[in-house]
Amino acid sequence: MIDTVATFAVALCLIIGAIFMLVGAIGLLKFNDSMTRLHAPTKVGTMGVGAMLLASMIHAYLVGDGSLHELLIMAFLFVTAPISANFMANVNIHRRSCDTPPTPPQDDTWSTLAVPEEDKTIAVRPEDVVRAEKA
């Protein structure tokens, strides 16, 4: 019974991994610039390879030859894929081969918790006053 369940788990992991890898390959071919093309193999490909390695681990334990090598490969892949994607994105940004993000507004409150004095006062709506009097 456990062999049948494990075999179906291996098959399910292989199918899921193959679908993720297919979607990653299609995304790699369909996207037109390098920054969007970078997204497909790093995100989707990592999940596809992870599912394939999980299927390999389940199968190895099923036949009695269990090994944790796949777990180490998976950990290495999950750590290095985002870092390498970040480096490739930074290279594209520094080479100016992609659209640069817009410049931030020229004030002291952008991306901080500092609030300008004029924004600290809250306008009171008439319906809020009526609700407060009824309560």
The token pair at 37 is: 């093309």
In the chain, where the domains are located: 2-94
Task: Please report, in tens digits, the pLDDT of each residue of the chain (135 residues total).
Answer: 888 999 999 999 999 999 998 888 888 888 887 777 777 777 777 888 889 999 998 998 888 887 788 888 888 888 888 888 888 888 877 777 666 666 666 666 566 656 667 666 666 666 666 665 665
Helices (H), the chain: 2-30, 34-39, 45-62, 69-94, 117-120, 126-134
Q: What is the DSSP letter of 40?
A: I
Neighbours of 34 (CB within 10 A): 14
Distance CA 68, CA 30 (A): 36
Whole-model pTM: value is 0.62
